Amino acid sequence: MIERIKEEASRLLPEMIEVRRHLHRHPELSFEEFETSKFIQQRLTQLGIPFEVVSKTGVVALIQCGAEGKVIALRADMDALPIQETNDTEYASKNIGVMHACGHDVHTTSLLGVAAILKNMAPELKGTIKLIFQLGEEKLPGGASLMIRDGALENPAPTAILGQHVYPELEAGKVGFRSGKYMASADEIYLKVIGKGGHAALPDRNIDPVLITSHIIVAMQQIISRRRHPNMPSVLSFGRVEALGATNVIPNHVEVAGTFRTFDEEWRLKAHELIRELAENTAKAMGGNCEVDIRVGYPFVKNDEVLTKNAKMHAIDFLGPGNVVDLEMRMTGEDFAYYSQVMPGTFYRLGTKEGADGKMRGLHTSTFDVDETCLETGAGLMAYLAIKSMEE
Ligand code: NI
């Protein structure tokens, strides 16, 4: 079985490279994936796989195997980022200011590869494969939440879901797994600190929102150092502070934006409360005001212990022990979290780096690119994991 899937994946590689390059040339932003969606639908039609369009641009397809059995969902996201590509390749983005800089072109191509492999083998297999081509991963409220709301996990309801993401820190041909908590919840924090502007030389006549903001930002870190349980990874970062005064002008207000990330729903809500209280009360104590707006983002990604342990074991059988690594927890977010919060799921990483000393091309940068041989693993391993999961 392993040899057969590997041969299929290797036979499909040139075609997958074509598909990936096509998607890479024509990236579309979150919730605007109309052409990408059409392209996926055409490929599925060519393969003779029935599908439904969900949440405008999402696509859910079903491969019914020869015998009844478990329903397993496989998910790939398909949106791109608002980044101007600077790579000088023949397949560089043709859409100005839009780029597949997070590898979702690889995820989509791999899942189409899986579809081709499993469609061929289906008569001999037991179960049902649900292919979820998901929109809008990069932007709140997250395409996963919309597709779940619109019934992507019903009729039939899968018992488990698998997803993969490119990983430029790992060489192509390798993959990584992690059981339990893997990626953080991510919320956006917006503060508007209101004082009273005026001449910088007459501070007693003003309420200085710049100084108040400075106190708030420093004080906020005590929520992380003193109120958080020491065992609970959390990050509170403010990347944007806008005070439009001058050397001699105190502004009326300051705007601040940041992110809060962690791995526990109860602490997450508690922390929101503490952030709000601390910002409002610090501002008040100094004669000002603070408006706090917390936009709740994705929950944390929880990889099911049993599913992940089994998937890792099968990956070792498929790729060899030297090609399967354990991953560290990450503070980045992923809307795969929405699936993993409602059903057993595992989200694993697909190595995309060129060779051991290949250049690392960071995700979300204008120079991101992959070693396209990763598609062979991206499709082959996922097909194998799907088959094994249907059996378990
Ligand atoms: Ni991504």
Across 200-355, the runs of DSSP E, i.e. the strands, are 234-242, 249-250, 253-262, 289-295, 301-303, 324-326, 345-353
DSSP code, position 172: T
Residues with a known catalytic role:
79, 137
Q: How many helices (H) and strands (E) does the chain have?
A: 9, 16
SS3 (DSSP) at 355? coil
Q: What is the pLDDT of residues 133-160, one digit of tens each?
A: 999 999 999 999 999 999 999 999 999 9
250 CA to middle of ligand 1, Å? 41
104 CA to middle of ligand 1, Å? 6
188 CA to middle of ligand 1, Å? 18
**Does pTM surpass 0.85?**
yes
Q: What is the pLDDT of residues 171-205, one digit of tens each?
A: 999 999 999 999 999 999 999 999 999 999 999 99
389 CA to middle of ligand 1, Å? 24
User: Domain residue spans in the chain?
Assistant: 2-182+300-391, 186-298
| Token pair recorded at residue 311 | 């998937």
SS3 (DSSP) at 53? strand
Query: Mean of the pLDDT values across residues 336-357?
Result: 92
Q: What is the pLDDT of residues 27-47, one digit of tens each?
A: 999 999 999 999 999 999 999
The alpha-helical segments, DSSP class H, found in 127-246 are: 143-149, 209-222
Q: What is the pLDDT of residues 297-324, one digit of tens each?
A: 999 999 999 999 999 999 999 999 999 9
89 CA to middle of ligand 1, Å? 21
Mean pLDDT of the chain, nearest integer: 96
Residue 6: predicted pLDDT: 97
- Which CATH topology does 186-298 take? Alpha-Beta Plaits (3.30.70)
| Residue whose C-alpha is closest to residue 53's, from 157, 126, 143, 187 | 143
CB atoms within 10 A of CB 221: 12
207 CA to middle of ligand 1, Å? 43
69 CA to middle of ligand 1, Å? 31
Q: pLDDT confidence of 377, banded at 50, 70, 90?
A: very high
CA 101/CA 368 separation, integer angstroms: 5
Query: Mean of the pLDDT values across residues 58-71?
Result: 96
CA 140/CA 187 separation, integer angstroms: 10
Q: What is the pLDDT of residues 198-248, one digit of tens each?
A: 999 999 999 999 999 999 999 999 999 999 999 999 999 999 999 999 999
CATH architecture assigned to 2-182+300-391? 3-Layer(aba) Sandwich (3.40)
138 CA to middle of ligand 1, Å? 7
Per the CB < 8 A criterion, the answer to whether 40 and 89 are in contact is no
| Residue whose C-alpha is closest to residue 318's, from 371, 382, 375 | 382
